[in-house]
Amino acid sequence: MDVNLPVVVVFGLAAWAAVRLLGIRPWAVALIALFGFYLADTFAAPAIDNGTRTGVEIVNDQHD
């Protein structure tokens, strides 16, 4: 059975857990999210996207 879960949902749940369980302040999560948006406009964005896709493919291949 295949389950498709967008990476943004996983990161959102991780951020929620960090605020609730680890005591990280919401403003720090917002600051990190803004950093991600600015990072997406740099030359590093294609490499990050490629690395993320490769990592997801590796995890998916191990569960088949």
Q: Tell me which DSSP letter residue 42 carries.
A: S
Q: Does a structural domain hold residue 45?
A: yes
Domain interval for residue 48: 26-63
With cut-offs at 50, 70 and 90, classify the pLDDT of residue 20: very high
What is the DSSP-derived secondary structure letter of residue 38? Answer: H
Taking 60 as the threshold, does the pLDDT of residue 1 lie above it? no
Q: Is 12 inside any structural domain?
A: no
Residue 62 has pLDDT above 80, yes or no: no
Domain total in the chain = 1
The model's pTM is: 0.57
Its sign, for the CA torsion 28, 55, 52, 47, is positive
- pLDDT higher than threshold 80 for residue 51: yes
Residue 36 within any structural domain of the chain: yes
Q: What is the pLDDT of the chain when averaged over all its residues?
A: 84
3-state secondary structure of 63: coil
Answer yes or no: is pLDDT of 9 > 70.
yes
